[in-house]
Structure 1
Amino acid sequence: MADDAGAIARNDRAKEARERAYSTPLEDFNVAQVSHFTSDTHWPWFERLRREDPVHYCRDSEFGPYWSVTRFQDIVAVDSNHEAFSSAAENGGVMVADEYGPNDATSFITLDPPDHDAQRRVVTPTFSSAGMAAMEPLIRQRAAAILDELPLGETFDFVDRVSVELTSQMLATLFDYPFDQRRNLPRISDLALSQPEPDASPADLAARHAAFMPLVMPFIGLWDARKDGPPASDLISLLSQDPVTRKGDNPERYLGNVMLLTIAGSDTTRHSITGALMAFQDYPDAYDRLRANPSLLESAVPEIVRWQSPVAHMRRTAMRDVEVGGKTIRKGERVVMWYVSGNRDEAVIAEADRFIIDRERPRQHVAFGFGIHRCVGNRLAEMQLRVVWEEILKRFERIEVMGEPRRLRSNFVKGYEALPVRIVA
């Protein structure tokens, strides 16, 4: 890191976190603490759980009691078993914090079959291989334009100028959303997923809500304009016109799915673009090898997604007593699959704590989930990552990280709000 003081501070934090993780009794572990993620010190806590108690029960937390599933194979077992483990909002939803709500107002990620399958099927064609091939030239054109406008030799915010700008442009295209309002889309995601500061006052919470609602309301106008219009391929038209997601003239179900697609379409790509730059800072030889041989991006892109693990966890609720990793999880208990931990499981992924751009099996990761809830937009996320890094590699010999990132205040999405960088002139 160009900022040596920042690198020293990061190393000190990592050392202190390791000491705390290995001196804290396992019964006192609460890996869902948001501070672990905002400080990037969660790694040793999960390392110890994988080694000593891979299916761990936390009896007391701000979210209530929950099970942590931390090893790769156990995560796959839970994620693939939608009969025993529910995603439905009325059972608590997909985040460690409970999310109760009526079925009609929830997105398909917080539904179980058959409702989940019917709603997901409405948007799946948008993310087909043919759909991705049709979008790639536009993504490349926009990535090139964004990169060509970056300043040389001066510090700027990479998250704002590159990661947010590219993904907000792409989301606006997928939704056919007003292009001049595209920055609302990642803002919606951040407000929906970030947690308030611990000392937030009622006035602070009210201000968050007041800031959120004006961002969402334009989607109602788009619903009204398109629900009875001619068939079109944008996501808003698909959701507002299909009987499964339209459900009469009530836009609640549509809004739930719009929120899901806004968050999913923004976060995986946005935070992985930034996470890649952080990885290249620590592994500069990887960047040099890619510049010499850009074809290595075929394996480097899934390695970036594994390394960043932009979705830190998904939660399920046990619908019956079931055994996982030798532990009995009782009906009704909360089960958190920590993707961020499974992606560092050395029992399955060799040298999992190293960033290796030419892994033999680079897609052996759990970042996109498994089973019926596997990320519907994974092809789009990988294609955007590949294109933006192809264009970066063409242009810049080095992009230096100039200081510590500001991380999203969330234990659900592992992301970045800001990162100061400088392009070597």
Structure 2
Amino acid sequence: MHIDLVDRDRYATSGPPHEQLAWLRANSPVHWHDGEPGFWAVTRYEDVVHVSRHSDLFSSSKKLALFEELPEDQIALQRLMMLNQDPPEHTRRRSLVNRGFTPRTIGALEQHIRDICDDLLDKCSGEVDFVTEVSAPLPLYVICELLGAPATDRDKLFSWSNRMIGAQDPDYASTPDEGSGAAMEVYAYANELAAQRRATPKNDIITKLLQPDEKGETLGEDEFDLFVLLLIVAGNETTRNAASGGMLTLFDHPDQWDRLVADPTLARTAADEIVRWVSPVNLFRRTSMADQVLGGQEIKDGDKVVVFYSSANRDASVFPDPDVFDIGRTPNTHIGFGGGGAHFCLGNHLAKLELRVLFEQLARRRPRIRQAGPARRLRSNFINGIKELPVTIA
């Protein structure tokens, strides 16, 4: 079988190459994939979890966590972002940021999220684009709430996120510099927010993060700017594309939509099944820090190692009938928020809350929603994204 797991045009037309991934899980679960440079493609659940939980052996910092190769000067700057750090630096940063993402803090947002969903659905009638009218605004409004920013800023956040994530998609970025330009605009925005909160503290995550913790430690200016960038991208893209992909999947599985409409409380398990099925983050990159053996393959110190969550979440050794979409699936030990370890998604509870409330309200209030045209996918091998999903809402 011809193996190409990173062809962006393939992702744009039909999503992850599940037939290739299934073949690899069965025949070559740790597979040398040609490229510039070549890399080890890790496709089996057990191996993805192993890589995720051993930061000492598989580094996020040495060559960063994203698939693309960057020059050394850019790598040095990006290492200030939690995504691209290893313990103990990552542990310190995460302990500072965790203060804004406690279960109590997130749980207190449920009614606000429900109000946002109701407001979005109230404004929808006839034929609309589900992405721009529902799935994208929801996490953006929530991020504005977390930042203590006005809701009117959501359009700026939407544009910045699209330009940074969609750098290889002609709809979002006309030149390779577009993503860098968006990042610089985010840094300026973060600096302005920080200045406002220092002058006038509020009850929001920004104020909490600017204050010293119990040890007297605070985030540096660059660290803070990069956290805001990470929140805008990660907090938006994962929920937005899980919601869009979940709606498309429910259109493709009308029996499961009917189940949800009959019992909207299934939204709790449906949220996890949507994340498993869609796997909004397709892959992350690590760098081997030693000569070692993984999945029977000898990996050298410095080798590029890429874990594929889209594949691990369809591993039959973990998920009975993995190619069946079942909104009542339980247990559901998917790794759509990462395979555990240091980089398990900080906002996983928030993302699941947003998805649960959105699909519960959709089932209760818009049971006759229907697909009105073909979905358009993002040209990206990193994010399994939906750019457009026409729907009819009665």
TM-score where L is the length of structure 2? 0.91
Partner of 1:323: 293
Distance 1:145 1:204 in 2: 36
Distance 1:342 1:315 in 2: 15
Q: 1:367 aligns with which of 336, 342, 366?
A: 336
Offset of residue 215 of structure 1? 5.0
Partner of 2:12: 38
| CA 316–209 in structure 1, closer or farther in 2 if over 3 Å, else same | closer
- Could you tell me whether the CA contact under 8 Å between 1:104 and 1:253 is conserved in 2? no
Partner of 2:157: 185
Partner of 1:16: none
Offset of residue 207 of structure 1? 5.4
Say whether residues 1:48 and 2:23 are aligned partners: yes
Amino acid at match of 1:167: P
Distance 2:185 2:81 in 1: 20
Partner of 1:8: none
Distance 1:114 1:212 in 2: 26
Partner of 1:355: 325
Amino acid at match of 1:366: I
Q: 1:57 aligns with which of 20, 32, 37?
A: 32
Partner of 1:3: none
Counterparts of 1:66-105 in structure 2, within 5 Å, are 66-88=39-61, 91-99=62-70, 100=72, 101-102=75-76
| 3-state SS of 1:337 partner | strand
Q: 2:144 aligns with which of 172, 176, 181?
A: 172
Offset of residue 397 of structure 1? 2.2
Partner of 1:128: 102
- Could you tell me whether the CA contact under 8 Å between 1:105 and 1:253 is conserved in 2? no
Counterparts of 1:267-282 in structure 2, within 5 Å, are 267-282=237-252
TM-score where L is the length of structure 1? 0.85
Query: How far does the alpha carbon of each residue in 1:82-126 deviate from its partner, in whole angstroms, 9 at most, with x for none?
Result: 1111111xx111111134522686211211111101111122132
| 3-state SS of 1:156 partner | strand
Partner of 1:139: 113
Partner of 1:19: none
Percent of aligned positions with the same letter in both sequences?
Answer: 34
| CA 109–215 in structure 1, closer or farther in 2 if over 3 Å, else same | closer
- Could you tell me whether the CA contact under 8 Å between 2:96 and 2:219 is conserved in 1? no
| CA 205–97 in structure 1, closer or farther in 2 if over 3 Å, else same | closer
| CA 409–235 in structure 1, closer or farther in 2 if over 3 Å, else same | farther
Partner of 1:300: 270
Partner of 1:110: 84
| CA 85–355 in structure 1, closer or farther in 2 if over 3 Å, else same | same
Count of aligned pairs: 385
Partner of 1:148: 122
RMSD across aligned C-alpha pairs, in angstroms? Answer: 2.2
Amino acid at match of 1:142: I
Amino acid at match of 1:49: L
Distance 2:111 2:334 in 1: 28
Distance 1:406 1:122 in 2: 38
- Could you tell me whether the CA contact under 8 Å between 1:184 and 1:215 is conserved in 2? no
Amino acid at match of 2:35: D
| CA 278–197 in structure 1, closer or farther in 2 if over 3 Å, else same | closer
- Could you tell me whether the CA contact under 8 Å between 2:43 and 2:309 is conserved in 1? yes
Which stretches in structure 2 are left out of the alignment for 5+ residues?
none
Offset of residue 40 of structure 1? 2.0
- Could you tell me whether the CA contact under 8 Å between 2:264 and 2:364 is conserved in 1? no
Counterparts of 1:216-255 in structure 2, within 5 Å, are 216-226=187-197, 228-229=198-199, 232-242=202-212, 244-247=217-220, 251-255=221-225
Distance 1:354 1:238 in 2: 43
Q: 1:416 aligns with which of 383, 386, 394?
A: 386
- Could you tell me whether the CA contact under 8 Å between 2:269 and 2:327 is conserved in 1? yes
Which stretches in structure 1 are left out of the alignment for 5+ residues?
1-21
